[in-house]
Amino acid sequence: MEPVRAVLIDIDGVLTVSWKALPGAVEALRQVRASGAAVSLITNTTSRTRASMADALAAEGFPVGAEDILTAPAVTAAYLAEHFPGARCALLNSGDIREDLVGVTVIDEDDADAVPDVVVVGGAGPEFDHASLNRVFGHLQRGARLVAMHRNLYWRTDQGLQLDTGAYLLGLERAARTEAEITGKPAPAFFETALARLGARPGEALMVGDDIESDVLAAQRTGITGVLVKTGKYLPETHRAASGTPDHVLDSFADVPALLDRLSSAGAR
């Protein structure tokens, strides 16, 4: 591959679990930055704004700011502006992310007369109860389009694996006989947006993630070198059953600086 100029990094399960730093992750990120590689944290996390994520990471010692983070909500806002300009949107999400949905008109679900053009689904949580899901189902039956920030089935917390949006999205799609338009990972546009912000080509970048399909193999399909870490949601059975083979597999993000050194040495020969 070409010399590494950019490193794209998932947050949850790679750098942190439940917003607590994983062993060696803080120092490893410092070393990645010291190597001269540009860094972008790209995440499907939809429970916090970019500013809130940056504050949580900084509290753990990570050398990042809000400008280093690209979130599914931010990409979703751009997608809606391009494909559904002026649309009225119903939002189902766990956490208040409206600050990152710049330019998006979100209707008040308590207004019985408010009819959405688009249903936007974010990350799952207590808000995904029967009443809310049934309300979304009704909107879809009446012709609303379905946009989902991701379709992850689960993620890891300090309480273990937890169900995520994909588990509910599959049912909504089948019941409403529709298919969601995905804006976050594994959508190619998400990776392309991150690279454009860093001024790097796919062949000059690594993507480090714990989700073999949405993080690693999706990045590899865009020409980015994929790095799977065995932390977070990583499971040996999903690794064995995956649709492809990661370019690199590491025990954790703490091993990334050594990988960069090896790749740099190989490129110099």
What would the pLDDT profile of 162-210 be if each residue is shown by its tens digit?
A: 999 999 999 999 999 999 999 999 999 999 999 999 999 999 999 999 9
CATH topology agreement for domains 6-44+185-267 and 73-182: yes
Residue 233 CB: number of other CB atoms within 10 A?
A: 24
∠ at Cα 213 (208, 219), nearest 5°?
A: 50
- Chain centroid, CA 126 distance in Å: 20
Task: Specify burial of residue 159 (Cβ count, 10 A radius: 0-12, 13-18, 19+).
Answer: exposed
CATH class of 73-182: alpha beta
What's the CA gap between 267 and 269, in Å, rounded?
5
Predicted pLDDT at 1: 62
Predicted pLDDT at 65: 95
Comparing CA positions, the residue from 69, 19, 58 lying closest to residue 194 is 69
Ranges of each domain in the chain: 6-44+185-267, 73-182
Comparing CA positions, the residue from 136, 93, 100 lying closest to residue 118 is 136
Residues of the chain predicted below pLDDT 70: 1, 112, 267-269
Comparing CA positions, the residue from 216, 152, 168, 183 lying closest to residue 71 is 183
Structure tokens at 141: 């039956």
Predicted pLDDT at 20: 97
CATH of domain 6-44+185-267: 3.40.50.1000
φ/ψ of residue 42, rounded to 5: -115, 125
∠ at Cα 43 (42, 47), nearest 5°?
A: 145
